[in-house]
Amino acid sequence: MTLPILLIPGLNCTSEVWASQTPALWSRGPVTIANHTIGSSISEIAANILAAAPPSFALGGISMGGYIAFEVWRQAPQRVRGLALVDTSARPDTPEATERRRAAMALAGQGKFAQVIAAAFPLAVHPDNVENAAMKALHTRMGLAIGLETYLRQQQAIIGRPDSRPDFGAIEVPTIVLVGDKDAITPPEVAQEMADGIRGAALTTIPNAGHMALVEQPEAVNAALLSWLDGLSR
């Protein structure tokens, strides 16, 4: 019997962020991309995802999707059979990060949402990909599809997210942590912290990738995720 796979996008991301993974992962089980646009807090978003989710599943999340994945596990640990944390963090928002978010939210609310999306792109990719037109177009397309109102709610939810590090000791499902080697938003040391804290967690650092490793190095990401899924079925 195959295990359903539930994948959660990140801030300002649609299901398209997982587009390079979905066909490969379908070889291991039915893939669903969670709707993370309903709710005003990480807790509400997770509850809405769980309401539509299969009875049990392997769970993956990128960036904000990782914050939500921790909360999905907290709300229904018995339903989560495995955990994939991709370019994310278990830490709460820092005051400095919150200040940057609020500044971006204010600018977006002044009719400059497209400008906010554009400004975020260089930080989201490896330095070699800053001029990559296809990646930039994807980043822009997803942000505009999410829209201003959802963006503001998602940022507010991220600001209020809990510290997930106290939960490390209770996570007993097979866990993989993936991070781009040049991730400037949730850097490798944050991934190392999760891998060190969660018993048995495997850390995979993706070469030549930033925060959007899913898009930048899909083959390396897919290989790591398939190995993790194969471990769940053993």
And the tokens for 96? 């400095």
- State the burial class of residue 44 (Cβ atoms within 10 Å of its Cβ: 0-12, 13-18, 19+): middle
Phi, psi of 147 (to 5 degrees): 90, 160
> What are the structural domains, with CATH classification, of the chain?
5-93+157-232 (3.40.50.1820)
Give the pLDDT confidence of 32-77 residue by residue, as tens digits: 999 999 999 999 999 999 999 999 999 999 999 999 999 999 999 9
Say whether 178 sits in a helix, a strand or coil: strand
Average pLDDT, the chain: 97
User: What pLDDT score does 65 carry?
Assistant: 98
Least confident of 28-37, 66-75, 185-194, 225-234: 225-234
Instruction: Say how far apart CA 222 and CA 137 lie, in whole Å.
Output: 22
Query: In the structure, how many helices (H) and strands (E) does the chain have?
Result: 10, 6
Report in angstroms the alpha-carbon separations of 99 from 35, 38, 42: 27, 24, 19
Asked if 86 and 178 count as a contact pair (C-beta separation under 8 A), the reply is yes
Secondary structure of residue 20 in the 3-state scheme: coil
Q: If you average pLDDT over residues 218-222, what whole number do you get?
A: 98
